[in-house]
Chains A and B, each alone.
Chain A
Amino acid sequence: MRGRPHLYVSYESEQSLLPTWTQRVMVGLLVFLLVLIPLQGGIEIGDRLYQPVGFLGDNAWLKILSRVAIFGIGALGLNILTGLAGQVSLGHAFFMGIGAYTAAVLGGEVGKAHWGLGLPIWIWLPAAGLVAALVGMLVAPTAVKVRGLYLAIVTLGLVFIGEHLFRNLTSITGGSQSGRKFPSLDFRLWKEEEPFLAFTSDGPMWPVFNWLDWLFGPWINFPAEMSEEAKTYLALAALLVVVVVLAKNLQRTRIGRAFMALRDRDIAAEVMGVPDAKTKFEAFALSSFYAGIAGALLVAFIGRAIPEQFNLLLSVQFVVIVLIGGAGTVAGTLMGSVFVFVFPRLVQDFSGWLTETVESGGVIGSIADVFVSTGLDDPGLVSTLEGVSPGLNVSQLNVVIYGLLIIGFLIFEPLGLYGIWLRVRNYWKGWPFSY
């Protein structure tokens, strides 16, 4: 085959996840970058330290990226149910709550005010998924009876039932507002004092990364320490990668196709031999499994589980991730969750930048002044004042832009970010003859 490297010679190579070398290299680079981020490698030129990817390694950014990973896992679950199987669900927060409290009971401290068995993460994390999946199976029969908007309302009901239960089962959940402390992400083999792998304390760089020093040592300096946030991020990102591969595989095999068939034409799918009830059952179970895992991870990441977390807003957030990203695609779902968490930070940085520009004056400053209000008499879009003011504060601005973007996406690009990516890619594929 020499000389014709791009020819597929087997179904296996054509159907692999990354069929071409370009894709393999690009994805490899992306994963490499994701690993580099928390290591905060820097290049010293003169007496200044440049951090090409390391700037994302500060703790605030790492927390954002960790959330992206957790919500990515949960959103991939909703993508199976809504994107692939076409079942609209507003109950994702409920399943996350089930997972979170399962984990809390199994992994929580023993003998305190709340039930806790003190088991290690390798028990409570899968168990969170499994219990959520079981509850999902109980809900599934309803989905066989009702569809579309009606299903959305039924699953909406779940969220309220869930919130009520979580508030009142105080021995499990700690009750309204206060909640309960949550087991950390530390990996213990059993109940020993010292964790086998500590994710929740600062410490020396993991020996796994020694090769980086060996490889890039002469040019790039890696700090000898690793923060708690960096370790947590790496653990969550690794989990996300595993879940992405699982989700991708599901989509290209028999059950994934059955889900999509039910979404596109349910009667035809049945006539082709796809059992309606059983398949929807599986979709609910799988989706809830992912939700349960994400719920457990989320409260472990925050360190505290409060019943009010698992409200309708959380469910809606997942629907937004799937819609903005592009329903039915794994890559789109990931883009969606990056967008939803990175975007607010960018808006915040942007308004900060605007304010600075106004204060520094000059031509650009006076243009920026139109948008920024610096005092009660000064109208503008964004306000630099605390509390009540003529302009919107940063978080209000965030919400407004967020809402506008959702509307915009639904109208102009139903395929979401993934659709935009496809268009950009196809443009450059055809370049310079792109019409």
Chain B
Amino acid sequence: MSHLLEFKDIGLAFKGVKALDGVSFHVDEGELFAIIGPNGAGKTSTFNCLNGVYKPQQGDIVWEGESILGMRPDRIAERGIARTFQNIELFAHMNVLENISLGRHVRTNVGWLAGSVWLGKAKREEMANRAKVEDIIDLLEIEQWRKYPVGLLPYGVQKRVELGRALAMEPKLLLLDEPVAGMNLEETEDMARFILDIREELGIAMILVEHDMGLVMDIADRIMVLDFGTPIATGVPVDIQRNPEVIKAYLGQEA
């Protein structure tokens, strides 16, 4: 059986500094896969390779049987890989509606000419678009912020809008980079609920990078642990918790 995504023996280096070294994993449809590891372990680099922001020197990335290595980010987005960022990367001067609508760029196709004229095709597409955007706003419970420029919104809400923008792409795989970083308990629980909703209702596979171990252990199907760019363990949460290598990476070793 072929996997949705296969990350094959990826090596990424910046002028001799090895960010990723022989990282391999796979994700199946509808799976919630988590990547954990100490700071600088290469978690976000993994995402950047998947997105096409970084070009790994070694290995291959196979998406639905096709290699996406070296593809431009927008082409990869077209194929159904969406992402949120660790430090929110929303379009600060656009409002919530516009931000989420932008996520639908790859699922719409009206050009500048039809858009300028508005009547006909562009108008129909905008209205259909709006209906989809409203579904997402509904799912993430951000109705009251629709028309606010996102730069003015509280942090927790911005995180939700960013998740919404990624969902608007109707992705098959969603990359979540620290979705609950800096959040209080209540906000974390809300976000966990949204992640589970997305999985149950939309059936989207997810890769989660997160430092909140409680959250990861609770909701992940499988976990990969990275340390200094190399994978030290991959498995179900129960096994990962007991793995001596993992404990060593996190807590250090007794002298």
Contacts and interface: CB of A to CB of B under 8 A. Distances in A.
Contacts of B101: 254, 257
Nearest to A247: B116
Contact of B117 (A246, A255, A271): A246
Given A267-B53, A268-B85, A261 B102 contact: yes
Contacts of A282: 112
B15 to A, nearest CB: 20
Given A270-B74, A275-B72, A265 B115 contact: no
B209 to A, nearest CB: 15
A260 B98 contact: yes
A254 B126 CA distance: 8
B247 interface: no
B68 to A, nearest CB: 13
Interface residues of A, number: 32
B165 interface: yes
Nearest to B89: A268
A378 to B, nearest CB: 51
A15 B114 CA distance: 17
A250 interface: yes
B215 interface: no
A276 interface: yes
Given A268-B91, A271-B53, A276 B127 contact: no
A274 interface: yes
B112 A286 contact: yes
A274 B168 CA distance: 14
Nearest to B168: A272
A271 B102 contact: no
Interface string A265-301: 1011111111110000010001000000000000000
B39 to A, nearest CB: 21
B95 to A, nearest CB: 10
Contacts of A274: 74, 102, 105
B122 A253 contact: yes
B169 interface: yes
A273 B130 contact: no
B152 interface: no
Contacts, number: 116
B134 to A, nearest CB: 8
Chain B: number of interface residues, binned into ranges: 35 or more
Contact of A253 (B74, B89, B126): B126
B108 interface: yes
Nearest to B103: A272
Given A15-B126, A250-B112, A273-B74, A258 B102 contact: yes
B42 to A, nearest CB: 18
Contacts of B126: 11, 15, 252-253
A386 interface: no
A273 B106 CA distance: 6
Q: Dominant SS at the B interface?
A: helix
Given A11-B127, A15-B130, A255-B112, A270 B73 contact: yes
A265 B90 contact: yes
B139 interface: no
B161 to A, nearest CB: 12
B135 to A, nearest CB: 12
A303 B93 CA distance: 42
A293 to B, nearest CB: 13
A269 B91 contact: yes
B93 A260 contact: yes
Interface string B75-86: 001100011010
Contact of A246 (B72, B111, B116, B165): B116
B240 interface: no
B110 A254 contact: yes
A272 B112 contact: no
A100 B216 CA distance: 63
Contacts of A269: 91, 102
A192 interface: no
Contacts of B52: 271
B92 interface: yes
A429 to B, nearest CB: 14
Contacts of A260: 91, 93-94, 98, 102
A11 B101 CA distance: 14
Nearest to B47: A271
A264 B93 contact: yes
A250 B77 contact: no
A249 B91 contact: no
A277 B41 CA distance: 32
B118 interface: yes
Nearest to A17: B118
Contacts of B230: none
A257 B169 contact: no
A76 to B, nearest CB: 11
A219 B106 CA distance: 58
Contacts of B158: none
A249 B118 contact: yes
A256 interface: yes
A265 B127 contact: no
A328 interface: yes
Given A271-B53, A272-B102, A254 B115 contact: yes
Given A250-B116, A260-B94, A267-B73, 6 more contacts: A249-B122, A258-B105, A261-B102, A270-B77, A273-B77, A286-B112
5 contacts: A250-B115, A256-B115, A263-B93, A269-B91, A286-B112
Interface of A: 11-12, 15, 246-247, 249-250, 252-258, 260-261, 263-265, 267-276, 282, 286, 328
The 6 A-B pairs with the shortest beta carbon distances in the complex, nearest first, are A273-B77, A253-B115, A273-B106, A264-B91, A268-B89, A249-B118
